[in-house]
Amino acid sequence: MSPSNSYPVQVSNISPTTTEQSLTDFFVFCGHITSVKYDSAAHTATISFEKPQAAKTALMLNGGTLEGSQLTVTGDASHPDQHDDHDKSEHLDQTDKPRAGIAAEYLAKGYVLSDQILERAISLDNEKGISKKFLSYIQSLDTTLGEKTLGKDQTISAKVQETLNQATAQAKGIDEQKGISKNATSYYSRALSSPFGQKVRQFYTSTSKQIFDIHEEARRIADSLKHAQTDKETPVSTAVGTSAPPQDSAVKTGL
C-alpha cells in the first residue's frame, strides 16, 4: 500500500521492554495496520493505518499504558472518518465499531486506559455517531436471533422492551435448548442472545454512554473470553470469532 493511502501516528515514551510485536498488538485494536517503524533505541515508533478513523482512534489512546509506560500518541487529527456505510459485505471492520466499544475491548484484554481516554471515546461517538454499517449489522443480528428464539418477525430488543423478564427468560430457555449462543460465530450474536442482550445492543447502538457503561461492557467481553477459553479446553468445537470482538480476521497485522 502506498504511503499516500496510509495514516500515521507517532508514538513515544515506549517502555524499553516493549517489543515491536507487543506494540503492534496494542494498536491493532484501532484497525488494520499497514506498517510499523519502531526505533527501540529512541523508544519511539511510527504506526501507519489503512483508514483515517483507525489513526484517530489511536490518537484517542494518548496517555494509555503499555507495559508500565504512559504512551504519548501524536499525529494529524484532522482526518475525517470515512466509514463505507454503503458497503453491503457481511464483513465487519474494526473501524466500523464505536470507539467506546473498542475502549471496552482494551480494558477486557487487561490494558490500562484512564477515565480521560474513556471520555474521549464517548465524545468521539457523540461527535461522529455510530456507523450505519455497524447499526445495520447489529439490527440484522437482533432480527435473526429474535426469529430463532421468539418467532417470526420478532426481535430480541422489541420483545425485551415489551416484557423484559418474561422475554429474557424465554430467550434464555430456547437458547439453551438450541445452543444458539454456544454455536454463535461472533461475540455480538452470543451476547445479544443472552439475557443481557438488550444492554449490549444499547451500548453499541447509542451514543449516550457513561464511563461506567464502558467498564460494564469490558466485564462482559472478559467473561466471554473466559467462556471461550473453557470451550477450547473441551471437545466441543467453537467457531472462529467467538473469543472476542477484536479478532475480526481482516483487522490485523498480527492478530
Residue 34 is part of a domain; what is its CATH number? 3.30.70.330
- The answer to whether residue 117 is domain-embedded is no
- The answer to whether residue 89 is domain-embedded is no
Same domain assignment for residues 163 and 65: no
Residue 254 identity (one-letter amino acid): G
Same domain assignment for residues 142 and 232: yes
User: Tens digit of pLDDT for each residue in 178-192?
Assistant: 444 444 458 888 888
Same domain assignment for residues 237 and 138: yes
Same domain assignment for residues 45 and 143: no
- The answer to whether residue 32 is domain-embedded is yes
CB contact at 8 A, 7 and 48: yes
- For residue 198, what pLDDT is reported? 83
What is residue 70's three-state secondary structure? strand
Write phi, then psi, for 73 (nearest 5 degrees).
Answer: -120, 120
Same domain assignment for residues 58 and 143: no
Give mean pLDDT, residues 156-171. Answer: 49
Domain end, chosen from 55, 82, 109, is at 82
Write phi, then psi, for 82 (nearest 5 degrees).
Answer: -130, 55
Give mean pLDDT, residues 55-67. Answer: 96
- The answer to whether residue 141 is domain-embedded is yes
Same domain assignment for residues 137 and 243: yes
Question: Up-side HSE of residue 33: CA atoms within 13 Å toward CB?
Answer: 22
- For residue 83, what pLDDT is reported? 59
For residue 222, what is its C-alpha cell? 472478559
Looking at per-residue pLDDT, the higher value among 131 and 165 belongs to 131
Instruction: Please report the sign of the dihedral spanned by the C-alpha atoms of residue 252, residue 186, residue 192, residue 216.
Output: negative
CB contact at 8 A, 60 and 99: yes
User: Tens digit of pLDDT for each residue in 14-44?
Assistant: 999 999 999 999 999 999 999 999 999 999 9
Question: CA 189 to CA 193: how far, in whole Å?
Answer: 6
In percent, the amount of the chain with pLDDT more than 90 equals 52
- For residue 84, what pLDDT is reported? 58
Beta strands in the chain (DSSP E): 7-12, 33-39, 44-49, 65-66, 69-70, 72-75
Give mean pLDDT, residues 81-98. Answer: 71
- For residue 126, what pLDDT is reported? 95
- The answer to whether residue 66 is domain-embedded is yes
- The answer to whether residue 166 is domain-embedded is yes
- The answer to whether residue 183 is domain-embedded is yes
CB contact at 8 A, 230 and 242: no
| Structural domain that includes position 171 | 133-247
Question: CA 123 to CA 106: how far, in whole Å?
Answer: 17
User: Tens digit of pLDDT for each residue in 214-249?
Assistant: 999 999 999 988 876 665 554 432 222 333 344 433
The sheet with strand 7-12 has its strands ordered as 33-39, 44-49, 7-12, 72-75
- The answer to whether residue 184 is domain-embedded is yes
CB contact at 8 A, 103 and 119: no
Same domain assignment for residues 154 and 220: yes
Q: What separation, in Å, do the N-terminal and C-terminal C-alpha atoms of the chain show?
A: 19
Same domain assignment for residues 164 and 75: no
pLDDT band at 161 (very low <50, low <70, confident <90, very high): very low
Domain end, chosen from 82, 117, 147, is at 82
Domain end, chosen from 16, 51, 82, is at 82
Domain count, the chain: 2
Same domain assignment for residues 69 and 156: no
Identify the CA nearest to 98 among candidates 77, 78, 120: 120
Same domain assignment for residues 76 and 137: no
Cα angle 163, 167, 172; round to 5: 160
pTM of the model: 0.75
Same domain assignment for residues 6 and 77: yes
Q: What is the DSSP string of 21-58?
A: HHHHHHHGGGS-EEEEEEETTTTEEEEEESSHHHHHHH
